[in-house]
Amino acid sequence: MQIRELKIPDSYEVTPKQFGDDRGVFLEWYRFDRLAEAVGHSIDLRQANTSVSKRGVVRGIHFADVPRGQAKYVTATHGAVLDYVIDIRVGSPTFGQWDSVLLDGVDRRAIYLAEGLGHAFVALTDDATVSYLVTDTFDAQREHGIDPLDPEIGLVFPPEAGEALLSPKDTDAPGLSEAAAAGLLPTWDDMRAYYASLDAKEDRA
């Protein structure tokens, strides 16, 4: 398993080692110990989600209030998506920037993003099936969104995605600046302190 930090701090691309023979393929798509080495603490998983999307569907940009927030470990178990991590932490050196990872059934990569980061993806195939491991259960009152078409962020969807299909909830979400002005976004300093508290908890365990 290879783990590479993305250009957005506290997000990682995970590429598993695949073992194939005439029966098929075996791989470890999640290893808590390897991820903890990269992140600095173990991930306390509390819920697993799956979504199935038509080609062109865009889900996100989503994030949750911290604490606890929702760190996410995401992979595609069927089809392909382009997965985005967006830095929405006010004061971050990469605030408003994003990075992306292709998740598909070929390389079978995963992406990890820490609490306080924005998450979105666009389906590149029909029946694109995405599975998420997350560190807190869903709480509608603590969940928020940012318009994935916000030009200030400038997500780029690849041509193979076709026409973007979005839910009213996502298109009605505020833009990045509007969300910041409303006090919805986490701050870089608060998130650094929160990550440090998780690291310290690991050291005491």
- Residues annotated as part of the active site: 62, 132
Give 165: exposed, middle or buried? Use CB within 10 Å, 0-12, 13-18, 19+.
middle
Longest Cα pair distance anywhere in the chain, in angstroms? 57
Q: Are 155 and 98 in contact (CB under 8 A)?
A: yes
DSSP-assigned letter for residue 57: B
Going through 37-176 in order, the beta strands assigned E by DSSP cover: 47-53, 58-64, 72-78, 80-86, 98-104, 110-113, 118-123, 128-134, 143-145
Is residue 44 a contact partner of residue 140, using CB atoms and an 8 Å limit?
A: no
